[in-house]
Chains A and B, each alone.
Chain A
Amino acid sequence: EVQLVQSGAEVKKPGESLKISCKGSGYSFTSYWIGWVRQMPGKGLEWMGIIYPGDSDTRYSPSFQGQVTISADKSISTAYLQWSSLKASDTAMYYCVREYCSGGSCYSAFDIWGQGTMVTVSS
């Protein structure tokens, strides 16, 4: 079964650092782009950035550039999203997603979603 399994919920204080993870299984992890999507409480979906684990090519949404770091360790089929200094406004559910590819073509849509990691930042 193709799946992305994310790390568990986190409760942090403002100013703390955090790194959450997303482990892929059931497919060739290095051959698909992995992205991150934020959903603030009661709000819509926001694309944060995306990485190609095969060569670590990474792109960021302008809204999140400099605010977070996306990385991947292909040896353990895991992507990461990290913050160096959390703010209360980072409180949200974070999803990792896989870009859909089939028959050698990719379609700029996300077919596999992790279960989400809830991050709560509060003093």
Chain B
Amino acid sequence: EIVMTQSPATLSVSPGERATLSCRASQSVSSNLAWYQQKPGQAPRLLIYGASTRATGIPARFSGSGSGTEFTLTISSLQSEDFAVYYCQQYNNWPPEYTFGQGTKLEIK
């Protein structure tokens, strides 16, 4: 089973600043990596797929990078609506499995 580890668990950043969130896989997942944003009381929303492609309607301030085992989600200039929990998720072909990281809470500093 592939284990996804996100860091840090909580990140405190001021509005307008840059946030960098990390996700590490226990073995290579190639570029089969997605990022989601979840706000309290809401379902998660897809931000990034294929490690670096923004989903439809996602602002350009969100960017993803990495491949293999190390991935990063960068939010270039934080807006008030960006404070939320972020999850990474990998897909492995065989055995077929989708694994989420434990989440990073992005909070206002």
Contact = CB atoms under 8 A, between A and B. Distances in A.
- A contacts with B: majority SS: strand
Given A44-B101, A50-B98, A62-B1, A109 B87 contact: no
A45 B46 contact: no
A32 interface: no
Nearest to A114: B43
B32 interface: yes
Given A44-B102, A44-B103, A47-B98, A107 B49 contact: yes
A113 B43 contact: yes
A120 B101 CA distance: 24
Interface residues of A, number: 21
B97 A47 contact: yes
Nearest to A112: B46
A45 B89 contact: yes
B100 A108 contact: no
B50 interface: yes
Contact of A47 (B49, B99, B102, B103): B99
Interface of A: 35, 37, 44-47, 50, 59, 61-62, 95, 100, 107-111, 113-116
